[in-house]
Amino acid sequence: MKFYAPILIAGALLSPLLAYAGPSDYVYTPTVEYGEKEIDFKAGTARKGDDPRSSAASIGFGYGAKEWWFTEIYLKYKRESNESVKYDAIEWENKFQLTETGKYPVDVGFLLEIERPTDRAEGWEIKWGPLFQTEFGKVQLNANALFKRHYRVEEPSEIQFLYQWQAKYRWLPQFEFGLQGFGEMGKWTSWADKDERSHRAGPAVFGKLPLGGRQAIKYNAAWLLGTSKAAPDHTLRLQVEYEF
């Protein structure tokens, strides 16, 4: 398995340039593994009605700098309509584990994410919020409440409220299955009208393939269906991590 690791990494690095990419949203988890390094690739694709397909991808490097802090830098790409894939933004993600894993009924973490788009008119995007996880036997549940705002932009920006949730059954380490959901509610102080909110949910698969030592390939993927008028009709997303 160690022989194939460089091939898998190379494939992940090239994928944003060779294939359709997609919305890189994924469900954040609150736990941190100290000393772990990873190369992280996220991609997918989404479409609504007869509108052009929207795609995006990212490649990142992360490190468990402390027992309670994981930090990661991403390069983000996007593809719209029939245009070619182009570099879109750089992102710095920080995850803080606030409780000891398994000590309390609910594990709690906190996310702080800073993004600088190539289009300077978009200013800086900041995303933050609490992360929650609990377990019942082989069932793991996650729920995140997130806030997002653009700073130093040409047009005034309001704080937006987003949510994520996930439920999975840990059948085997190599293969787990469940559901994922994502939503955007509009301004956090005054939610948008029902027809303007975005809700997506659907089946998901997860797994971790050991390569020996600290090396492993970790993956998750989901097929999300729009459950509101403002959401894409369908979204296919994928995340693959090489941990070492």
Q: Could you identify the residue written with the tokens 């797994």?
A: 207
Question: Per-residue pLDDT tens for 204-223?
Answer: 999 999 999 999 999 999 99
Q: Which residues contact 38 (CB under 8 A, 6 or more apart)?
A: 61, 62, 63, 72, 241, 242, 243, 244
What's the chain's length in residues?
244
**49-53, 182-186, 228-232: least confident range:** 49-53
What pLDDT sits at residue 67? 97
Confidence of residue 23 (pLDDT cuts 50, 70, 90): low
Q: Could you identify the residue written with the tokens 């979204």?
A: 235
- Report CA-CA distances (Å) from 228 to 31, 107, 143: 31, 30, 20
Q: Which residues contact 88 (CB under 8 A, 6 or more apart)?
A: 56, 76, 77, 78, 117, 118
Q: What is the mean pLDDT of residues 220-238?
A: 95
Confidence of residue 37 (pLDDT cuts 50, 70, 90): very high
* pTM to 2 decimal places: 0.88
Q: Which domains does the chain have, with CATH numbers?
A: 2-243 (2.40.160.40)
Query: Which two three-digit tokens encode residue 114?
Result: 């800073």
Question: Per-residue pLDDT tens for 46-94?
Answer: 999 988 888 999 999 999 999 999 999 999 999 887 788 899 999 999 9
